[in-house]
Amino acid sequence: MNKFVAAVIQLDSQDDVDKNLNTVVSFIREAAGRGAKLIAMPESMNYIGMDNAGHSEVVPGGRTFQLMSEQAKKYNVWLHCGSIYEKSPDDKRPYNCTMVINPKGECVAKYHKIHPFDVVIPDGPVNKESDRIFPGDKIVTVDTKEVGHLGLSICYDMRFCELYRLMALQGANILMVPANFTMNTGKDHWEAILRTRAIENECYVIAPAQIGIKPKFQAYANSMIIDPWGNVIARASNRPEVITAMIDLDYVQKVRKQLCTLANRRPNVYKL
């Protein structure tokens, strides 16, 4: 389908997995009732607390996957499950993992966050996500054949433009950016970066976010859907909620013919 409704779920996930998942299920029901065919969730949708490894699961097969699989089949929708912590067979640290589930309840793609948020400021704050999360090393896109060709990323990845350009060159026309973004950086950077990713790659950007006070910071929220021209066509309010927008994949092609950014690339001179 070239036109369909996409929904973004904005959440205030905390450390109660049961409560978080119950909230997600109720919002999926609402989104499906509003005609959404693609429903997207934020980073850490099922758990935000101080024990990531202890709340990691098998993907696919774990508790959260099984529940999301049931919901996808029940409502005949595509689910982009934000991210959860996935057990790593190679490390005690879990992956930060995105799942994409089709209307048959099958996991058709998963992505492990490539860029840990590692910040070390002399005489200032230190935050090393790599101490808690095992980073992935694969760029992942998935052509759903129904709700677009999705390029997968998570939160801090959004600052690395190379990732999104490569996904666009692989055919992505919708860039997925689930996040738990901080208020401090979000107020200045969140929208600016997301709109840039949409404009420079001539893609839709779907960015579900967390809201609320988390263990280490206040989340910025402002979940949004952005069109390939860079217009914000849906934005969440200051609460957990569902927002929707019409996605028109023909519009992606129209913009690409007008701006020609991808067509006018000169990779032969792009050398370090």
Residues recognised as catalytic: 43, 113, 155
Query: Residue 151: what are its φ and ψ, rounded to 5°?
Result: -100, 125
**29 is written with which tokens?**
């029901």
CA distance 87 to 98: 13
CA distance 230 to 244: 17
**218 is written with which tokens?**
């206040």
In 3D space, the residue among 69, 76, 15, 13 whose CA is nearest the CA of residue 240 turns out to be 13
Q: Mind spelling out the 3-state secondary structure of 24-68?
A: HHHHHHHHHHCCEEEEECCCCCCCCCCCCHHHCECCCCCHHHHHH
DSSP string, 247-266: EEHHHHHHHHHHH-TTTT--
In 3D space, the residue among 243, 175, 222 whose CA is nearest the CA of residue 31 turns out to be 243
**232 is written with which tokens?**
């914000």
CA distance 234 to 217: 25
Amino acid at 62: G
